[in-house]
Amino acid sequence: MSKIYNTAGNPFKVPENYFLNLEERIEEKLHNTEISSPKTSFIQIIKPYLWLTSVFVGLYIFTNILLNTKIDSEHKIIKASNIIPSDKEVKLSEHKKISNEDIIVYLSDSDIDSDLIISSLQEQNE
Amino acid sequence: MNKHYKKNNIICYEQIQKEILMLVNEHKEYLYWHIRKIVISHEDTDKVLHTCIKIAYNNARAINNKLDLLKIATEKSIDFLKEKKENDFPNKNISIETILSNTLENDNLFQASDEETKLYAASLLLSENQRLIFNMKYFDNMDYSDIAQILEQSKESCQRTFLSALSKVEAILKLY
């Protein structure tokens, strides 16, 4: 990199003995002003304990959620197994042991049109 | 246990502060000239220098080397110039570069040849970032890595900025 001009020396000057007195002036100013030392606040003291507490609380919540989902899924499996029918075809009357007479009584007691019943039975037979 | 911890902490911190003071005294002249090239005036440089030293002393844990001091010095110099513009020229639409050019013209402690005066005057017409990098690279011959660390920019960005600043200064000097 070429210098634009040959600036030999520093054109900026300082008052006489400025740097000789500078060290003393620095120390004097620092001792005159308030020197702050690190203050350990209450929050800084309890911070590590807060952190530990939050870790344990988090673990507790996490394990609770995990256990609850396991129990829930087990309950669902039990419920599902009750709903899922067996491989064999199960007729309602055989499963519940309802007699045909009971069915006739039920149909006659209900307000279902007998013609409708007959037509549906015919369709089934076809 | 807390009292002992606090006492030991304070003693350690005082030792760190003593080390910072030693570091500052070792580099005080370099710091001074770094600030002077930014703010131009000796009185302003003195103020900024003491501010920087106080900050370094009160944040001793954050200071590890000369570059950290230079970083503080650069930031405080820029802040000082902005405050000076707001305080001394509150309602006027005047740029910091113009203020510095006037300061340079009227500074009794600036004793330069015509060529040097033109060069420094041209450098004052650069933008803030260009001028900082130009000062550090051209006048102080610092490494780009150090400049990048001080200004928190990338090395390549500093290089590009310096080259554009250099070409701008050359163009300005051709006009004289």
pLDDT exceeds cutoff 60 at B61: yes
Whether A15 contacts chain B with CB within 8 A: yes
Closest CA to A102 of A111, A94, A93: A93
The answer to whether the CB atoms of B2 and A40 lie below 8 A apart is yes
B174 against A3, higher pLDDT: B174
Of B35, B125, B132, B131, the C-alpha closest to B80 is B35
Burial class (CB in 10 A: 0-12, 13-18, 19+), A28: exposed
pLDDT, residue B67, reads 93
Q: What distance in Å separates the CA atoms of residue B5 and residue A96, rounded to the nearest whole number? A: 80
ipTM of the complex: 0.79
Give CA–CA dist B31/B17, Å, rounded: 18
Lowest mean pLDDT among A88-92, B34-38, B110-114, B151-155: A88-92
Query: Residue B39's pLDDT is what?
Result: 94
Contact B21 A4 (CB under 8 A): no
Q: Quick check: A10 and B135 in contact, CB under 8 A?
A: no
Contact list, A14 vs chain B (CB under 8 Å): 32, 42, 109
Paired tokens of A101: 């007479």
Tens digits of residue pLDDT in B77-115: 999 999 999 988 887 788 898 899 889 988 889 888 888
* Cα separation values, B122 from A2, B35, B103, B114, Å: 17, 18, 14, 12
A46 touches chain B (CB under 8 A): no
**How far A16 CA lies from chain B's nearest CA (Å)?**
11
The CA distance from B163 to B171, in Å, is: 12
Could you say which of A25, A30, A40 has the minimum Cβ distance to residue B6? A40
pLDDT tens column, A7-63: 556 889 999 889 988 888 888 877 766 555 555 667 777 888 899 999 999 999 999
Provide the pLDDT for residue A4: 54
Cβ of A20 under 8 Å from any chain B Cβ?
no
Cβ under 8 Å to B: A residues 51-80: none
> Nearest Cβ partner of B111 from A3, A11, A15?
A11
What's the distance, CA B38 to chain centroid? 5
Provide the residue type at A49 as one letter.
Y
Shortest Cα distance, chain B CAs vs residue A50, angstroms: 17
pLDDT at B155: 95
Is residue B67 a contact partner of residue B31, using CB atoms and an 8 Å limit?
no
B88, B61 contact by CB (below 8 A): no
Residue B1: the pLDDT is 45
Give chain B positions within 8 Å (CB) of A32.
none
Q: What does R_g of chain A's alpha carbons equal in angstroms? A: 47
Q: Do A23 and B28 touch (CB under 8 A)?
A: yes
pLDDT at A72: 64
C-alpha span between B122 and B101 (Å, rounded): 9
d(CA A118, CA A113): 9
**pTM as predicted:** 0.65
Per-position DSSP letters for B111-136, written without gaps between them: ---HHHHHHHHHHTTS-HHHHHHHII
